[in-house]
Structure 1
């Protein structure tokens, strides 16, 4: 059998001794918890690799709104493309297929 070892304890006497970011390890790994208690861990190297991903770019159809998506006084005065308010036929079929799915039971229950 192995011998028991004591766990070191550090007492905080000043608020400056508390960490600035509770969800980050010294190595840069970020973590968080969901409301259900599941722990989610993001490795720093993985997050940095996503920085160059095409998915992390600004959406191409994002409207140019001065003061919101553009800085105030920006030289870009491009107006957003006008879109029609009528739903496309594809959107209508998507909504109807979602309604059909929600009517079915998610799983069978034994009572």
Structure 2
């Protein structure tokens, strides 16, 4: 019976951890998206230049109007990928900062046992 309780607590802890990780990465993705989305405007010269280059590339195989839409969609997809990447990096930095002291405590306990 005690083993079942221990297993149940472990499963509950894993579910809570997965939920917290999901909420954290969604939150940080939203924050990162807000930060990076500022650059996606017609007033930003880098964005405008990249959009023009992508439009020229896609105009080789599509109509000019459709090429511009595809170029904008590619930029939006890249923005989403970058936000997910940044949120993942932030999450794993937190994991590293939490795991390092836990590792030190674990090693300390093994030494003095």
Name the TM-score, length of structure 1 as normaliser.
0.23
Name the TM-score, length of structure 2 as normaliser.
0.23
Q: Point out the structure with max Rg over C-alpha.
A: 1
